């Protein structure tokens, strides 16, 4: 197959060969013993103290400004950029000036990895720089990087902004757009601080099957695959809830899992086919206890990640400091529509939906209708973290019946910026009730509800052995990350969002 290469790629390959021709390995195998970073030098260099006098650093060459026997350049390491100052006679102390005249000046390109030894100093114009005494080629770059530059008028050249290119070539995006790296560093911190919060409570991080015979625990279309040796259909999990509950049956006090779920559904700004969920189950607790736990946890994470509980998101200021207001689903609907639907029958509710211009179809039961009203009239108003509690029973087959309110379950969802962030129950641990709920789901499925849940016989068996009262919680980690990092697309908090194959 003929490979088309651009002029710039061809030149870089020629430069590669020229480096080899002068006896330098452009891809050396041995480690490079750097002893500091650009960030450390910027933070701690003090000319009076004469520190940073024996520096070794490594990174990509990002700019070259050549002026005869002396040149300035910039290198980008894992922490940031720093200017370097190179003189010919210092890196080439003998008669042989090849390393400077040819290798540095001609054969090294933007994006190449180099290692340098030297000492820190401040130039006449006041720029902190490294005076180079030794230069080593660490790795050649064969493709041109788009180098973002800002000119004297503040005009930006070469910005690498096309979302498609950024997602498809995230490696380039990360090199060229430093703020992207910050988002992912924060994402990592969100995960680690959440783990720290749970671990401090003594709860156990566990792993449960990703490959499942029965895709239980949620209502969603799964990815289907096949196990060759077992000659058996297998699904990628859409949830791990039923497995985590089995572990509570087994006697753990608290278990949580942070992992990928897979749903074979549409993709948009807030949905990727694989996404990261956190689910936690704690024995002998209920959903009221869980609300306090979630407030503390999110406040803790916000502080760890951003140093404050306030986050600016799309011009709104959101405060994760608890406690969060609590409103029952009926109360919230009454607040935003003026109608009390708590005693309303299904038919009356259909009329209400028509009046409110909410589209419905005949397969929807009373619970689904309530959910539709809520989605259309309430959700978007819940900007600050708000708990909505006590959902209709038929929407929630895995939650315990409400202790005092007929027809409802002990469930809450946490809404932030008009979106659901967390979902929690007092878990249903009555195996007889649970079987009935699964059967009701089957009835709904026959009525045409394609989101109805699948019955898991082994899970029911585990409940029959006895599960303590338990509270469970799920959090969509990608969406939480979006909020805490100010990103508006899930693709901006995933390194490699799902993309169609390029056809070119």
Residues 404-443 that bind RNA (CB under 7 A): 420, 423
* Cis upstream peptide for 323 (omega within 30°): yes
CB 432 to RNA: min, Å: 25
x/- track of binding to RNA for residues 271-310 (CB under 7 A): xxx-x-----------------------------------
Please select the residue that binds RNA; options are 59, 222, 392, 476, rule is CB under 7 A: 476
Least distance between RNA and beta carbon 230 (Å): 27
- Does 447 bind RNA (CB under 7 A)? Our answer is no
175 and 60 Cβ atoms separated by less than 8 Å:
yes
* Closer of 220 and 339 to RNA (Cβ): 220
Whole-number Å distance between alpha carbons of 179 and 80 = 11
Place of tokens 């994760």: 320
Of how many residues is the chain composed? 504
Task: Report, in Å, the least distance between residue 188 CB and RNA.
Answer: 19
**Binders of RNA among 219-238, rule CB under 7 A?**
219-220
Find where tokens 């720290």 sit.
Answer: 196
* 113: contact with RNA by CB under 7 A: no
Contact region for RNA (CB under 7 A) — 67-75, 93-101, 195-203, 246-254?
67-75
Helix or strand (DSSP H, E) at 473: strand 470-476
Q: With CB under 7 A as the rule, give the number of residues binding RNA.
A: 79
Listed residue (13, 14, 16, 12) closest to 24, CA to CA: 16
Q: Report the distance separating Cα 13 and Cα 19, nearest Å.
A: 10
Q: Considering only residues 139, 270, 309, 384, which one is a binding residue for RNA as defined by CB under 7 A?
A: 270
Candidates 32-40, 223-231, 241-249, 261-269: pick the segment binding RNA (CB under 7 A).
261-269
Closest C-alpha to 244, from 286, 195, 277: 277
Q: Does 89 bind RNA (CB under 7 A)?
A: no
Structure tokens at 64: 């070259």
| Measured distance CA(190)–CA(334) in Å, rounded | 35
- Smallest distance from RNA to CB 82, Å: 11
| Residue reference for tokens 């024996």 | 54
CB 89, min distance to RNA, A:
11
How far is the C-alpha of 90 from the C-alpha of 82, rounded, in Å?
Answer: 19
Candidate residues 125, 179, 229, 404; the one interacting with RNA per rule CB under 7 A:
125
Contact string (CB under 7 A) for RNA, positions 354-393, x = contact: -----x------------x--x------------------
Cβ contact 20:36 at 8 Å: no
Query: In this complex, which beta carbon is closest to RNA, that of residue 1 or of residue 230?
Result: 1
DSSP-assigned beta bridge partners for residue 66: 71
Positions 167 through 186 that interact with RNA (CB under 7 A): 167
Residue among 122 and 432 whose Cβ is closer to RNA: 122
Out of 17, 35, 44, 127, point to the residue binding RNA (CB under 7 A): 127
Smaller CB separation from RNA, 353 or 463: 353
Determine whether 155 is exposed, middle or buried from the number of CB atoms within 10 Å of its CB (0-12, 13-18, 19+): exposed
Residue 56, beta-bridge partner list = 117
Site string for RNA, 310-349 (x = CB under 7 A): ----------------------------------------
Return the closest-CA partner of residue 220 out of 243, 244, 236: 236
- Per CB under 7 A, does 50 bind RNA? no
Does an H or E element contain 475, and which? Answer: strand 470-476
């Amino acid at each position: 197959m003929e490979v088309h290469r651009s002029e710039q790629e061809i030149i870089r390959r020629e430069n590669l060969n020229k480096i080899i021709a002068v006896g330098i390995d452009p891809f050396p195998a041995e480690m490079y013993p750097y002893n500091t970073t650009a960030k450390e030098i910027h933070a701690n260099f003090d000319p009076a103290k004469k520190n940073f006098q024996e520096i070794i650093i490594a990174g990509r060459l990002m700019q070259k400004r050549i002026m005869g026997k002396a040149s300035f350049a910039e290198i980008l390491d894992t922490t940031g950029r720093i200017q370097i100052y190179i003189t010919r006679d210092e890196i080439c102390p003998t008669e042989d000036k090849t390393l400077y005249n040819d290798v540095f000046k001609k054969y090294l390109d933007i994006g190449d990895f180099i290692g340098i030894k030297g000492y820190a100093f401040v130039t006449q114009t006041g720029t902190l720089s490294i005076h180079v005494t030794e230069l080593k080629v660490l790795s050649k770059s064969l493709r041109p990087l788009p180098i973002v530059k800002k000119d004297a008028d503040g005009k930006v050249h070469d910005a690498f902004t096309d979302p498609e290119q950024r997602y498809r070539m995230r490696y380039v995006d990360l090199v060229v757009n430093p703020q992207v790296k910050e988002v992912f560093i924060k994402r990592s911190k969100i995960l680690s601080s959440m783990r720290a919060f749970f671990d401090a409570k003594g709860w156990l991080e566990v792993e449960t099957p990703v490959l499942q015979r029965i895709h239980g625990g949620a209502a969603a279309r799964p990815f289907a695959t096949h196990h060759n040796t077992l000659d058996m259909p297998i699904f990628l999990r859409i949830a791990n809830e039923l497995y985590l509950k089995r572990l509570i049956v087994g006697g753990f006090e608290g278990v949580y899992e942070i992992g990928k779920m897979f749903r074979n559904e549409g993709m948009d700004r807030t949905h990727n086919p694989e996404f990261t969920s956190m689910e936690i189950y704690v024995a002998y607790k209920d959903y009221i206890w869980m609300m306090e736990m979630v407030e503390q946890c999110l406040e803790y994470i916000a502080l760890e990640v951003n140093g404050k509980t306030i986050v600016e998101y799309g011009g709104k200021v959101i405060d994760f400091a608890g406690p969060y207001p609590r409103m029952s689903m009926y109360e919230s609907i009454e607040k935003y529509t003026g109608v009390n639907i708590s005693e309303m029958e299904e038919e009356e509710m259909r009329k209400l939906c028509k009046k409110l211009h909410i589209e419905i179809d005949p397969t929807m039961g009373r619970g689904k209708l309530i959910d539709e009203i809520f989605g259309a009239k309430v959700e978007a108003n819940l900007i600050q973290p708000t708990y909505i509690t006590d959902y209709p029973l038929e929407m929630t087959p895995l939650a315990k019946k409400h202790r005092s309110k007929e027809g409802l379950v002990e469930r809450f969802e946490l809404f932030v910026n008009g979106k659901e962030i967390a979902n929690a129950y007092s878990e249903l641990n009555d195996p007889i009730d649970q079987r009935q709920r699964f059967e009701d789901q089957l009835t709904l499925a026959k009525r045409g509800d394609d989101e109805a849940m699948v019955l898991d016989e082994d899970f029911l068996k585990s409940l029959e052995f006895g599960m303590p009262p338990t509270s469970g919680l799920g959090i969509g980690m990608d969406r939480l990350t979006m909020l805490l990092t100010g990103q508006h697309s899930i693709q901006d908090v995933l390194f490699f969002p799902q993309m169609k194959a390029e056809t070119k």
